[in-house]
Amino acid sequence: MSIERKSFGTLGTGEEVSLFILKSGSIEASFTDYGAILVSLLLPAGKGMKDDIVLGFATLAGYAGKHPFFGATVGRFANRIGKACFSLDGKEYKLDANNGQNHLHGGFKGFDKHIWKAEAFEENGEPTVLFSRASPDGEEGYPGNLEAIARYSLMSNGSLRIRLEATTDAPTIVNLTNHSYFNLRGEGRCNILNHELKLKASRYIPVGTDLIPTGEMASVMNSPFDFLEPMRIGSRIEAAGGYDHCYIIDRKSDTSEIAEFGEVREPVTGRKMNVATTLPGVQFYSGNSLSLIQGKRGSLYDKHAGFCLETEFFPDSPNRPSFPSSIVRPGQVWSHETRYGFSF
């Protein structure tokens, strides 16, 4: 187990940015305090080699520019909010419309475009990096001063644990997530269409052409959205029109206890990733809009170069009373955990 901190470069503002490298057993992960981003996740590849299984950039410049949220801690509200507005306690709030007429992943300058305070330490034998930031009242249109924490740890069983927390001094909405793109073969090596996916989710949330929910919670049965049994991601992707949909995780009860819901297998390497969360939903995105992005090692990330399993509350939930509430009030703590486990 080890923890290393080093420079990751300097922003145009003159602010210094750090890179934190955590090692536990045969797994190594690196994070930057710019955007609380997961920069790399290295797994053994045999003969002393390792493969990086998350898409991203080798330098700070890539993250400081426009990119599709590679590895980012997304907030204040991950996913979309229709017409970039919502009402809370009888008052309407207008958010930045950065996705057509809608609001996406926190706005023009969401949590992924800020430097977070950071500290790295050992916690119960696990190398950990803790990021925190204060989001002021009115930032991107959101009410309330919000204190956010993103804690990333490498567990002794080979899992990456993510604990996200937030508190507020006024009623607000919160939906934090990590937005990593995975490719279990190794970033830049192939597309993810042959990866096999299983999701314990018998319902999903249909969306319109603008990817805003219709309000329905539909069964996946007899549809290309059914991953109740392992299925190649690419087997029905054309019929689905590409995947960028929120799945409702099946639970035995309404408790928010952590529960495993997802498994992904890459057939060539045999690598597996299992995902568990306390959150009610997961956005499965198949990298439909990736197009010739210069990544690491000279890689080019094209369509379907990676997939996301973003654990979260449902999109547009502030405008959908039938969806689980993402409202947080003073005195409450928004606290959730997600684990990505690996076998190789």
Domain boundaries, the chain: 2-343
Average pLDDT over residues 21-26: 96
- Is pLDDT above 90 for 162? yes
CA distances from 106 to 20, 97, 113, 163, 193 (A): 24, 10, 10, 19, 29
From 334, 343, 339, 340, select the one nearest 135 (Cα to Cα).
334
Structure tokens at 36: 């609380």
What helix, strand, coil percent values describe the chain, rounded to 5? 10, 45, 45
- 239 contact partners, CB below 8 Å, separation of at least 6: 224
Catalytic residue among 187, 196, 266, 310: 310
CA 322 to the chain's CA centroid: 24
> Contact at 8 Å (CB) between 70 and 293?
no
Q: What is the CATH number of domain 2-343?
A: 2.70.98.10
Average pLDDT over residues 140-156: 97
Q: What is the band of 48 on the pLDDT scale with cuts at 50, 70, 90?
A: confident
Q: What is the distance between the alpha carbons of residues 90 and 256, in angstroms, rounded to a whole number?
A: 28
- 207 contact partners, CB below 8 Å, separation of at least 6: 213, 214, 244, 245, 315
Is 337 part of the annotated catalytic residue set?
A: no
Q: What is the band of 76 on the pLDDT scale with cuts at 50, 70, 90?
A: very high
Catalytic residue among 103, 105, 179, 304: 179
From 328, 302, 303, 160, select the one nearest 243 (Cα to Cα).
303
Q: What is the pLDDT of residues 281-325, one digit of tens each?
A: 999 999 999 999 999 988 999 999 999 999 999 999 999 999 999
Is 310 part of the annotated catalytic residue set?
A: yes
> Contact at 8 Å (CB) between 201 and 249?
yes
Q: What is the pLDDT of residues 217-247, one digit of tens each?
A: 999 999 999 999 999 999 999 999 999 999 9
Q: Which amino acid is at 9?
A: G
